[in-house]
């Protein structure tokens, strides 16, 4: 395809596509012998800058003497409207061939995976190619070598933070849905003099991410130097990982996975471990919530994933312990940033010790045993002691202060002002709580964008409620959102009562 | 996800994406709880028009009080710059769920396939989703029901031409690469008083498509009424199928398949038969060229495909005969529109009877036997007779005249003025002709855009050549293209000589 060069005039199009795109008239495309999604090299003879762009074809937007340029291209070429550019067809990048290889079911080499990651990083692949790749990875899977290679490639394409202290440890949950165990675990772990630089995400489809909840109490947008400094001096941070560029290609892959909820196991492992390796974690406990409708649907899948996590970690010099947890039930009563932050603070303040507190101590305990801070079987007791003596709370307050303190106590957390209570329409035992539905109601009420909005449960599985008993409270920032959320709750509260008579036959 | 509505001001972006795309500020996206590639419904309260658009997210192109609109959206909503629009998040279309189902390896129902085709037609799917779908179809395959459903869905979403004559017959080649058998077969078949409204494609990766070659002799951009009229009165047409809208979704699918050369068997069958059914063909002969590097790599694949073609055709009320042909060798000596048109005319003018003429008569013969125009085993003789008596040539001239005659004789066809001859650098027997390489040289010389450009072979497999013997001639419209093409030919002529001594060991 590397043929002759033609000259075209630049026509600027004020669009940022996130990748270099150029528009050719269909006659020009035919002359170059290329089609939509093929590539051209564009050279600006004045600035000597070159770029490879993916083309689309039009019969009207640009004339046959012009090439339409998106912003990414304009910037790179430093081009003026109307300047004369040299355009020629070029081959597709090698990674397109490797994607086809994966589609055909062959394993990729380390070099091939690195090339794909590099081309994703440099936005050289079209959406069609990226979508086809993730679909193929989902269907074909990665073997161990491929998973390790993908992890390494993601690490190499990102920034790293190097710590002068040790041991650096971490905790990760695969698609946890509510309850901020992280905000309890990090201060417990740091109180035991381990170092835990926890980078968290914002909500995608949940009512709050850890970064959203922590932001209620402190600043979560930290620079790498701040993360290093606070972790080394205090033992822990809880910050937002999104702006750190720790594994930028991972963000792009997640964007491609998102529309079809494609979560190939190997890609999950690479995504998690790359981010952990980027902050130098040597010991990681991975929490794998299991349940129908979750990323991991059953124990068998969970165990497979756990074993792979451990094996891949070993090849990267990391010690990993993975635990399966019940992902079908809510982790605590709160859905929404401020509500979840308040509940985590209440646990640290020793106002309650519920299932979320139990889970947090268990996970911290696993980490203590992994590092050798506690003997086998003694980790949980150490974690609970650090919580019960108030050492974890003290550590949390140090962390909050170091991250530009907003709020140090659960009592000071503001919730949204408009509330509506949702009551049981019958009497019975709480049989099932539809977490996904409560999250939807919390989101309609404004979470996670409105920090104070959400849902606060008043019941747990197995509780007996009378007719008219309080099930939960909805919080919203204004009447309209409250009305929309409570209308949704009335349609279906998400709380199922156990019936003694299952069916009447008459 | 169906939550509240917010108001945003329209900001026009003069970009046509071929699908409805809108740009939101990242704060607005967070407020709506949505991510890039999610969908919003946009309503213009003034015109009452609504549209669902796929979003992308920016932190600078539009402000948090604006929504950026691509041209497709602007047109549909009839919106003015700055007008107030109602925006709300909406669920993904159902077809996204069905694509996921296909990725998971489940068969799709007829209704699900129709929904996907409809959403492709209405541009409701993103490139990521479309790419993931074609990758999954390639890996998982279609079963018989799915293939039939896809064919029906493609037909229903396109235009049809109904003929008042019968039998309407057709011929199709799966990825033939050079040599215009169609231009010989159509007049032979029409001369036998069958009706053959042949729609053809332009070149994609070859040196010429049938439409490109026929365009040298006549107008190939016919309207549906013209196709009907000419076919009914003369018996055949050879026109370009691209602008007829016979299976518009098929064009979109081909665009998605193109970058990764994804050609799932079931999709090939649906694509071919939908276009045949759209012109009412009841009898079709399908030519399946077989060879390494082609769409169909070996006989086993070819036979499988042939059987499926016949079975799917039966369910659609079509009688199909499929033949496997050797796709590794050139079909005639010509590469390029004018050269290939000239060669086809030379066959019709009885100036030569080579392998392409033989193939054309065989395929026409299969069609005669299928329709009952000739007894089993007698089709080829009838075809050859129609060719040899000049009836086919007479019919071809009628067709050319009906299609706005340009040229009626091979002698009048103009080739490109600049030529260069390529000679053997050694002596020996011609062992292999690398067709792909000759096509590349023809394309560098300007084909198919330059109609007169291309390559004309002077040798066949098995010929003996002396050192310095003529292998082929390159034709180009200007010196530069000729120079580039002959440089490529010098690097590697694509013609391999058989060596008696394979290796010297010393």
Q: Is the ipTM of this complex over 0.90?
A: no
On the question of pLDDT at A146 being above 70, the answer is yes
- Is some CB atom of chain B closer than 8 A to the CB atom of A262? yes
Cβ contacts of residue A504 below 8 Å, gap of 6+? none
Higher pLDDT: B277 or A502? It is: B277
Asked if residue A131 lies in contact with residue B96, where contact means CB atoms within 8 angstroms, the answer is: no
Residues B129, A128: C-beta atoms closer than 8 Å: no
Closest to A16 (Cβ–Cβ): which among B61, B126, B262? B61
Mention the CATH class of domain A418-498.
alpha beta
The alpha carbon of residue B129 is apart from the nearest alpha carbon of chain A, in Å, by 6
Task: Indicate the CATH number for domain B5-90.
Answer: 2.40.40.20
Identify the top-confidence range among A258-262, A328-332, B168-172, B177-181. B168-172
What pLDDT, on a 0 to 100 scale, did the predictor assign at position B1? 43
What is the share, in percent, of chain A residues with pLDDT greater than 70?
97
Reported as a pLDDT band with limits 50, 70 and 90, residue B323 is very high
* Fold of the A172-240+276-410 domain: Pyrimidine Nucleoside Phosphorylase; Chain A, domain 2 (3.40.1030)
On the question of pLDDT at B403 being above 90, the answer is yes
The alpha carbon of residue B103 is apart from the nearest alpha carbon of chain A, in Å, by 7
Q: Is A37 left (phi over 0), alpha (psi -120 to 50) or beta?
A: left
Digit-coded pLDDT (tens) for B363-389: 999 999 999 999 999 999 999 999 999
What pLDDT, on a 0 to 100 scale, did the predictor assign at position A292? 83
On the question of pLDDT at B93 being above 80, the answer is yes
Closest to A260 (Cβ–Cβ): which among B4, B18, B100? B100
Mention the CATH class of domain A94-140.
mainly alpha
Which is it for the CA torsion A118, A124, A127, A129, positive or negative? negative
- Is some CB atom of chain B closer than 8 A to the CB atom of A35? yes
Closest to A96 (Cβ–Cβ): which among B133, B134, B260? B260
Helix, strand or coil, per DSSP, at residue A128: helix
Architecture of the domain defined by B169-242+273-410: 3-Layer(aba) Sandwich (3.40)
How big is chain B by its Cα radius of gyration, in Å? 26
- Is some CB atom of chain A closer than 8 A to the CB atom of B255? yes
SS3 content of chain A, % helix, strand, coil (to 5): 40, 20, 35
Identify the top-confidence range among A89-93, A256-260, B107-111. B107-111
Q: Considering only CA atoms, which of A17, A243, A242, A252 is closest in space to residue A118?
A: A252
Q: Which chain A residues have a beta carbon less than 8 Å from that of B101?
A: none
C-alpha to C-alpha distance for A343 and A329, rounded to whole angstroms: 16
In this structure, the number of other CB atoms found within 10 A of the CB of residue A82 comes to 10
Average confidence (pLDDT) over B451-457: 97
Determine whether B339 is exposed, middle or buried from the number of CB atoms within 10 Å of its CB (0-12, 13-18, 19+): buried
Q: Write out residues 452-491 of B within 8 Å (CB-CB) of A.
A: 480-481, 484
Closest chain B residue to A21 measured between Cα atoms? B17
Higher pLDDT: B246 or A333? It is: A333
Q: Considering only CA atoms, which of A191, A209, A204, A201 is closest in space to residue A335?
A: A209
Determine whether B376 is exposed, middle or buried from the number of CB atoms within 10 Å of its CB (0-12, 13-18, 19+): exposed
Q: What is the largest CA-CA distance in chain B?
A: 88
Residues A262, B129: C-beta atoms closer than 8 Å: no
What is the share, in percent, of chain B residues with pLDDT greater than 70?
97
What pLDDT, on a 0 to 100 scale, did the predictor assign at position B3? 61
Q: Considering only CA atoms, which of A97, A78, A76, A93 is closest in space to residue A39?
A: A93
- Is some CB atom of chain A closer than 8 A to the CB atom of B352? no
Q: Considering only CA atoms, which of A4, A9, A8, A186 is closest in space to residue A80?
A: A9
On the question of pLDDT at B2 being above 60, the answer is no
The alpha carbon of residue A229 is apart from the nearest alpha carbon of chain B, in Å, by 29
Average confidence (pLDDT) over B392-401: 98
Mutation target for A interface from B36, B135, B254: give the one with most A CBs within 10 A: B135
Mutation target for B interface from A2, A132, A293: give the one with most B CBs within 10 A: A132
Average confidence (pLDDT) over B147-152: 97
- Is some CB atom of chain A closer than 8 A to the CB atom of B73? no
C-alpha to C-alpha distance for A33 and B207, rounded to whole angstroms: 9
Q: Write out residues 144-203 of A within 8 Å (CB-CB) of B.
A: 203
Digit-coded pLDDT (tens) for A184-241: 999 999 999 999 999 998 887 789 999 999 999 999 999 999 999 999 999 999 999 9
What pLDDT, on a 0 to 100 scale, did the predictor assign at position A502? 53
Q: Rounded mean pLDDT of chain A? A: 92
Digit-coded pLDDT (tens) for A302-314: 999 999 999 999 9
On the question of pLDDT at A501 being above 60, the answer is no
C-alpha to C-alpha distance for B439 and B124, rounded to whole angstroms: 37
Closest to A37 (Cβ–Cβ): which among B37, B58, B258? B258
- Is some CB atom of chain B closer than 8 A to the CB atom of A37? yes
Asked if residue B346 lies in contact with residue B353, where contact means CB atoms within 8 angstroms, the answer is: no
- Is some CB atom of chain A closer than 8 A to the CB atom of B37? yes
Domains B94-140 and B418-498 in one fold: no
Closest chain A residue to B443 measured between Cα atoms? A33
pTM, to two decimals? 0.87
Average confidence (pLDDT) over B214-223: 96
What is the share, in percent, of chain A residues with pLDDT greater than 90?
74
Q: Rounded mean pLDDT of chain B? A: 92
Asked if residue B289 lies in contact with residue B177, where contact means CB atoms within 8 angstroms, the answer is: yes
C-alpha to C-alpha distance for A240 and A222, rounded to whole angstroms: 7
Distance of CA A45 to the CA centre of its chain: 43
Residues B449, A15: C-beta atoms closer than 8 Å: no
Closest to A35 (Cβ–Cβ): which among B138, B204, B260? B204
Cβ contacts of residue B60 below 8 Å, gap of 6+? none
Q: What are φ and ψ of residue A195, in 5° steps?
A: -110, 120
Average confidence (pLDDT) over B248-260: 89
Average confidence (pLDDT) over B39-53: 93
Domain ranges of chain B: 5-90, 94-140, 169-242+273-410, 418-498
Reported as a pLDDT band with limits 50, 70 and 90, residue B500 is low
Residues B128, A133: C-beta atoms closer than 8 Å: no
Reported as a pLDDT band with limits 50, 70 and 90, residue B506 is low
Residues A261, B103: C-beta atoms closer than 8 Å: no
Q: Which chain A residues have a beta carbon less than 8 Å from that of B212?
A: none
Closest chain A residue to B205 measured between Cα atoms? A33
Digit-coded pLDDT (tens) for A418-465: 999 999 998 999 998 998 899 999 999 999 889 999 999 999 989 999
What is the share, in percent, of chain B residues with pLDDT greater than 90?
75
Higher pLDDT: A259 or B117? It is: B117
On the question of pLDDT at A261 being above 60, the answer is yes
- Is some CB atom of chain A closer than 8 A to the CB atom of B126? yes
Which is it for the CA torsion B284, B288, B294, B300, positive or negative? positive
Digit-coded pLDDT (tens) for A24-34: 998 898 888 78
Mutation target for A interface from B36, B94, B139: give the one with most A CBs within 10 A: B139
C-alpha to C-alpha distance for A493 and B86, rounded to whole angstroms: 28
Total residues belonging to chain A: 506
Reported as a pLDDT band with limits 50, 70 and 90, residue A1 is very low
Average confidence (pLDDT) over B309-336: 93
Digit-coded pLDDT (tens) for A355-403: 999 999 999 999 999 999 999 999 999 999 999 999 999 999 999 999 9
What pLDDT, on a 0 to 100 scale, did the predictor assign at position B189? 98
Residue A42 β-bridge partners: A51, A87
Encode A339-373: b = buried (16+ Cβ within 10 Å), e = exposed: bbbbbbbbbbeeeeeebbbebbbbbbbbbbbbbeb
């Amino acid at each position: 395809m590397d043929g002759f060069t033609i000259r075209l005039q630049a026509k600027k199009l004020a669009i940022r596509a996130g990748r270099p795109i150029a528009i050719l008239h269909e006659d020009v495309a035919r002359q170059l012998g290329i089609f939509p999604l093929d590539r051209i090299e564009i050279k600006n003879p004045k600035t000597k800058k070159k770029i490879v762009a993916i083309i689309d074809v039009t019969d009207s937007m640009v004339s046959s003497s012009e090439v339409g340029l998106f912003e990414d291209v304009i910037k790179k070429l430093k081009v003026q409207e109307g300047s004369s550019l040299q355009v020629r067809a070029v081959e597709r990048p090698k990674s397109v061939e490797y994607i086809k290889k994966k589609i055909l079911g062959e394993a990729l080499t380390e070099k091939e995976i690195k090339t794909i990651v590099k081309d994703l990083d440099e936005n050289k692949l079209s959406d069609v190619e990226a979508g086809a790749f993730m679909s193929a990875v989902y269907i074909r899977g990665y073997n161990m070598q491929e998973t390790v290679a993908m992890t390494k490639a993601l690490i190499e394409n990102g920034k790293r933070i190097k710590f002068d202290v040790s041991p650096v440890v971490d905790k990760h949950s695969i698609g946890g849905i509510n309850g901020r165990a992280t905000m309890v675990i990090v201060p417990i772990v740091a109180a035991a003099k381990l170092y835990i630089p926890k980078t968290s995400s914002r909500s995608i489809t949940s009512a709050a991410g850890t970064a959203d909840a922590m932001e209620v109490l402190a600043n979560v947008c930290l620079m790498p130097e701040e993360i290093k400094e606070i972790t080394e001096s205090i033992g822990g941070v809880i910050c937002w990982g999104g702006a750190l560029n720790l594994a930028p290609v991972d963000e792009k892959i997640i964007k491609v996975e998102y529309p079809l909820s494609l979560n190939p196991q190997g890609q999950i492992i690479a995504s998690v471990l790359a981010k952990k390796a980027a902050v130098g974690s040597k010991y990681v406990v991975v929490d794998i919530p299991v349940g129908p409708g979750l990323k991991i649907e059953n124990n068998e899948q969970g165990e497979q994933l756990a074993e792979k996590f451990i094996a891949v970690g070993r090849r990267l010099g990391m010690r990993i312990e993975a635990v399966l947890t019940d992902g079908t039930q809510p982790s605590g009563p709160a859905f929404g940033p401020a509500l979840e932050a308040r509940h985590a603070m209440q646990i640290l303040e020793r106002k309650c010790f519920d299932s979320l507190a139990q889970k947090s101590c268990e996970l911290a305990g696993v980490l203590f045993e992994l590092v050798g801070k506690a003997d086998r079987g003694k980790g949980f007791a150490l974690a609970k002691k650090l919580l019960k003596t108030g050492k974890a709370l003290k550590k949390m307050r140090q962390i909050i202060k170091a991250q530009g303190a907003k709020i140090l106590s659960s009592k000071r957390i503001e919730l949204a002002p408009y509330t509506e209570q949702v009551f049981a329409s019958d009497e019975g035992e709480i049989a099932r709580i539809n977490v996904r539905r409560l999250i939807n109601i919390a989101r309609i009420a404004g979470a996670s964008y409105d920090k104070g909005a959400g849902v606060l449960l008043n019941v747990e599985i197995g509780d007996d409620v009378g007719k008219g008993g309080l099930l939960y409270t909805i919080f919203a920032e204004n009447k309209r959102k409250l009305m929309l959320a409570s209308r949704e709750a009335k349609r279906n509260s998400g709380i199922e009562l156990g019936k003694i008579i299952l069916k009447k036959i008459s």
